Amino acid sequence: LFRSEGRTDAGTVASLVYDQVGRRTPEIVSATRIVWRSPLIPADPLVWRKDLPAELKARIAAFFLSYGAATPGKKASILAEERAVLDRLDIRSFVASDNRQLASVRLLELAKARIQIEADESASAVDRSLRLQEVDRKIAEIDRFSNSTAN
């Protein structure tokens, strides 16, 4: 954030942080004018390598998805401890996800690559065109993947 004369003139902040600030200090949010919002960028996704054994993936996912949730056999004291931890982190629960959650990040990276390619005066027009076609191919691939129902 850039501040002058006791005010913030411009800045960026993650939506999650902005929402947390709004709950704690609504006067700051009410005095803020949002001029643009990016597409949603995932907050702290759990990622793992593709070759991680399925059994281990299932155990890790089960841990997070049941954390703070009432499940058969979970003691009330354990559930209370887990919910207290989540409350301190301002998290309600963990939710299942897949690679589609990361599509917006990939698209932002490709937009950056497109700008860099277009500005590359050292490359020939043909080279820039070929590189831009590759970026467009990757964007189309991400669009198809992120609009699919399963991966």
Considering the domain architecture, whether residues 127 and 92 belong to the same structural domain is answered as no
The reply to whether 136 falls in a domain is yes
CA separation for the pair 135, 127 (Å, rounded): 12
**Domain extent at residue 31:** 1-37
Considering the domain architecture, whether residues 15 and 2 belong to the same structural domain is answered as yes
Closest by Cα among 59, 73, 67 to 87: 67
**Tens digit of pLDDT for each residue in 33-61?**
888 887 777 777 888 898 999 999 999 99
pLDDT digit string (tens) for the chain, length 151 residues: 444 566 666 677 888 788 888 888 888 788 888 888 877 777 778 888 989 999 999 999 999 999 999 999 999 999 999 999 999 888 889 888 888 888 888 998 999 999 999 999 999 999 999 999 999 999 999 988 888 765 4
